[in-house]
């Protein structure tokens, strides 16, 4: 059967997938001090990071409307899958579900399933690739849903940030804690809980040590590594991403490793120099 995989723009798609008719990215939007940014192919990361650095305020984001999702569902594909960033971090999941309801009321029944990634960024990407793998293998719609939901439950997301300013500005970290961490060059090793909230796993003095600790957590938590694709997204720091890749290779053999630069929403979360690792 024909299929379509819709990913909100917090999930980075490789260049080849952006041209694939089976994939569509539905953009979120950003606003920084009145400057409006659509998180699509026009996103200028360098300009965005400069604006963030100069601003005392945290950029605001808004999710796609239910109507925008409904438009994405209106296609010839018989099976439609949607991947959104964690429902605990954004309204994108709820908007996609409302879009599904609107579609069904106006257009009738169709195979549409919305996955709450319980992750973000490259985690969404891996879920989209898993859906594609299941579809190409010929699994029926409901089997794809069940297998991908099981995959999401096993997925682990980790990240290390160069700067805590974004977390401070959006209220996720106190001014004092951010100041102390920055002054002492302490870098927290962060992760996602099973329901998709953010938690601190560890910390280290200096970014390289923190990244190596992140790799250690990854290696410890991975199951059946030879069957898994490991993905790394980075915000303007390709060399760090490569270092993380090389550290992983020293410790475990995985099926493949994917490296992508963060798009708009992920750049907001990761900030300049941040690295996200998902497996």
CATH, residue 256: 3.30.1180.10
- Same-domain check for residues 96 and 213: no
Burial grade of 267 (CB within 10 A; 0-12, 13-18, 19 or more)? buried
- Same-domain check for residues 18 and 121: yes
Of the three residues 113, 132, 154, the one that is the final residue of a domain is 154
**CA-to-CA dists, residue 104 to 99, 113, 145, 159, angstroms:** 9, 12, 19, 38
- Do 216 and 202 touch, CB atoms closer than 8 A? no
Nearest-10 Cα torsion for 126, 131, 135, 136: 0
Q: What is the pLDDT of residue 56?
A: 86
- Same-domain check for residues 18 and 135: yes
Residue 37, domain member (yes or no):
no
Q: What is the pLDDT of residue 199?
A: 85
- Same-domain check for residues 86 and 207: no
Structural domain of residue 202, as residue ranges? 157-278
| C-alpha–C-alpha distance, residues 252 and 38, integer Å | 38
CATH, residue 113: 3.40.50.10440
Q: What is the pLDDT of residue 226?
A: 94
171: which DSSP letter?
A: T
- Same-domain check for residues 271 and 254: yes
pLDDT in tens, the chain (279 residues): 799 999 999 999 999 999 999 999 999 999 999 999 999 999 999 999 999 989 988 889 999 999 999 999 999 999 999 999 999 989 999 999 999 999 999 999 999 999 999 999 999 999 999 999 999 999 999 999 999 999 999 999 999 988 766 666 666 555 545 545 565 788 889 999 999 988 889 999 999 999 999 999 999 999 999 999 999 999 999 999 999 999 999 999 999 999 999 999 999 989 999 999 999
Of the three residues 138, 154, 170, the one that is the final residue of a domain is 154
Q: What is the pLDDT of residue 176?
A: 44
Q: Which residues pair with 7 in a beta bridge?
A: 25, 83
Radius of gyration of the chain (CA): 18
Residue 56, domain member (yes or no):
no
- Same-domain check for residues 273 and 162: yes
- Same-domain check for residues 198 and 114: no
Stated pTM of the model:
0.94
**CA-to-CA dists, residue 167 to 62, 91, 142, angstroms:** 17, 19, 38
Contacts 24+ apart (CB under 8 A), 177-186: none
- Same-domain check for residues 162 and 264: yes
- Same-domain check for residues 22 and 108: yes
Residue 265, domain member (yes or no):
yes
Residue 46, domain member (yes or no):
no
- Same-domain check for residues 209 and 115: no
Residue 36, domain member (yes or no):
no
Q: What share of the chain is helix, strand, coil (3-state, %, to 5)?
A: 45, 25, 35
Of the three residues 96, 128, 154, the one that is the final residue of a domain is 154
Residue 270, domain member (yes or no):
yes
Q: Which two tokens stand for residue 109?
A: 């029944």
Residue 149, domain member (yes or no):
yes
Sheet strands side by side (includes 111-116): 23-26, 3-8, 79-84, 111-116
- Same-domain check for residues 144 and 12: yes
- Same-domain check for residues 163 and 110: no
What is the number of structural domains in the chain?
Answer: 2
Sign of the CA dihedral running 248, 12, 57, 273: positive
Residue 11 sits at φ, ψ, to 5 deg, of -95, 120
């Amino acid at each position: 059967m024909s299929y379509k995989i819709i990913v909100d723009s917090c999930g980075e798609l490789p260049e080849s997938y952006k041209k694939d008719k089976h994939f569509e990215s539905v953009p979120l939007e950003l606003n920084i001090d009145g400057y409006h940014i659509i998180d699509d192919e026009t996103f200028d990361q360098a300009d965005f990071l400069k604006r963030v650095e100069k601003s005392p305020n945290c950029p605001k984001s808004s999710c796609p409307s239910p109507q925008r999702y409904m438009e994405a569902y209106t296609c010839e594909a018989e099976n439609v899958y949607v991947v959104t960033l964690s429902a605990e971090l954004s309204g994108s999941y709820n908007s996609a579900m409302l879009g599904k309801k609107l579609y069904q009321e106006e257009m009738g029944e169709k195979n549409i399933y919305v996955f709450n990634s319980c992750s973000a960024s490259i985690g969404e990407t891996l879920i989209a690739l898993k859906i594609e793998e299941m579809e190409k293998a010929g699994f029926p719609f409901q089997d794809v849903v069940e297998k991908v939901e099981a995959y999401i439950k096993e997925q682990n997301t980790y990240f290390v940030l160069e700067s805590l300013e974004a977390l401070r500005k959006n209220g996720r970290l106190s001014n004092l804690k951010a100041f102390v961490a920055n002054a002492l060059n302490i870098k927290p090793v962060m992760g996602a809980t099973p329901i998709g909230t953010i938690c601190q796993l560890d910390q280290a003095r200096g970014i390289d040590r923190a990244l190596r600790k992140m790799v250690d957590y990854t290696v410890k938590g991975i199951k059946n590594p030879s069957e898994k694709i490991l993905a790394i997204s980075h915000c303007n720091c390709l060399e760090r991403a490569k270092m993380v890749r090389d550290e992983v290779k020293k410790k475990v053999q995985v099926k493949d490793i994917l490296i992508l630069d963060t798009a708009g929403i992920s750049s907001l979360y990761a900030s300049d120099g941040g690295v996200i690792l998902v497996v």
